[in-house]
Amino acid sequence: MTRTVYVNGQYLPEHEATVSIFDRGFLMSDGVYEVTSVLDGKLIDFDGHCVRLSRSLSELEMAAPCSNETLLEIHRELVRLNDITDGMIYLQVTRGNPGDRDFAYPAEDTPPTLVLFTQSKPGLADAPVAKVGWKVISVPDVRWGRRDIKTTQLLYPSMAKMMAKKVGADDAWLVEDGMVTEGTSNNAYIVKGKRIITRALSTDILHGITRAAVLRFAAEAQFEVEERNFTIAEAQDADEAFITSATAFVMPVVEIDGTALGTGKPGSVTARMRELYLDEMRKAAI
Ligand code: PDD
């Protein structure tokens, strides 16, 4: 089955979908994105992703391509056309095609580019790796200073992912001034007893939509939540660790820079948070 994608108002077979070589997304990484999961054919935390998309756009003085109602219709139509049960929908908005290359932003009436496509991942919530956990390495965080904006400038996170893969790890935790910021494409947490510790929100990290939900459910389940910085050494000494993202949900981390955490197996707090998150989000999916 050929995948149907969405480009600027049209649903097209993927091989017919095109964007101009002058698009600011292509030339300048002048674009923002969202990734929304689909479970049982329904969208997970769609409203959260819309709120963050609006914020990313307004921080970059970029026009919204359409209303959130229209975005919802497009997401649902792509799920239907591609018969997605479990997977993801990738959405990207760029500052559009000014018809040439220029560092200055184009005229305000330049229409933004809107692209969406689906990624089918049957059994996404039952990924076997969630039972084993991830191994992570630490690498310096040399990204730009506005990581709270979800831009498509993803070269360094890709490089960090490759550094991890080259040494047989699953991901990298980024470290700045001795403190963990986040994973390449996820937020990072450690667990000590019944305490869940994660870096506070700022321009240093992406404000994860999964993070917000997980911290809410954690507090409701009587876990103590501490939003503060932590080091790799503190993480290696923790009982458990995990990451969150819209695509990995709550994923255990069992090893950091070659040091096994606790028993070296996914911990019970992490398992509980994954279960809680998936149960609650499936109930609220639209
Ligand atoms: N990444 N931090 C970074 C740097 C991220 O790229 C992401 C998401 C997160 C978690 O955010 P959320 O819970 O809203 O997915 C944190 C997506 C999944 C991606 O790039 O594919």
- pLDDT averaged per 10 residues in sequence order, the chain, 286 residues: 96 98 98 98 98 98 95 98 98 97 95 98 95 98 98 98 98 98 98 97 98 97 97 98 98 98 95 97 96
| 100 Cα to the center of ligand 1, angstroms | 31
DSSP code of 104?
A: S
* Atom from ligand 1 closest to the CA of residue 45: 14
Which residues on neighbouring strands pair with residue 62, listed in sequence order?
A: none
Q: What single letter denotes the amino acid at residue 174?
A: L
Strand order across the beta sheet in which 10-13 lies: 10-13, 4-7, 113-120, 87-94, 31-39, 42-43
What kind and span of H or E run contains 172? strand 171-176
| Mutation to probe ligand 1, out of 29, 33, 35, 47 (largest number of atoms < 8 A from CB) | 35
| 34 Cα to the center of ligand 1, angstroms | 8
* Range 4-122 has CATH code 3.30.470.10: yes
Residue 236 neighbours by CB distance under 10 Å: 17
Burial of 235 (0-12, 13-18, 19+ CB in 10 A): buried
Alpha helices in 82-208 (DSSP H): 129-132, 155-166
To the query of whether residue 150 is one of the catalytic residues in this protein, the response is yes
DSSP readout, 197-237?
A: EEPPPSTTS---HHHHHHHHHHHHTT-EEEE----HHHHHT
| 197 Cα to the center of ligand 1, angstroms | 18
The confidence score (pLDDT) of residue 265 equals 96
3 state DSSP class of 109? coil
The CB of 210 under 6 Å from ligand 1? The reply is yes
The confidence score (pLDDT) of residue 1 equals 85
The confidence score (pLDDT) of residue 63 equals 87
Tokens representing 87 are 């997977």
Question: Residue 140: phi, psi to the nearest 5?
Answer: -65, 145
Distance CA 67, CA 113 (A): 14
CB 43 within 8 A of CB 285: yes
HEC profile of 46-103: HHHHHHHHHHHHHHCCCCCCCCHHHHHHHHHHHHHHCCCCCEEEEEEEECCCCCCCCC
Return the domain boundaries, the chain. Answer: 4-122, 128-284
The CB of 187 under 6 Å from ligand 1? The reply is yes
The CB of 37 under 6 Å from ligand 1? The reply is no
The CB of 246 under 6 Å from ligand 1? The reply is yes
The CB of 87 under 6 Å from ligand 1? The reply is no
Task: Identify the architecture of domain 128-284 in CATH.
Answer: Alpha-Beta Barrel (3.20)
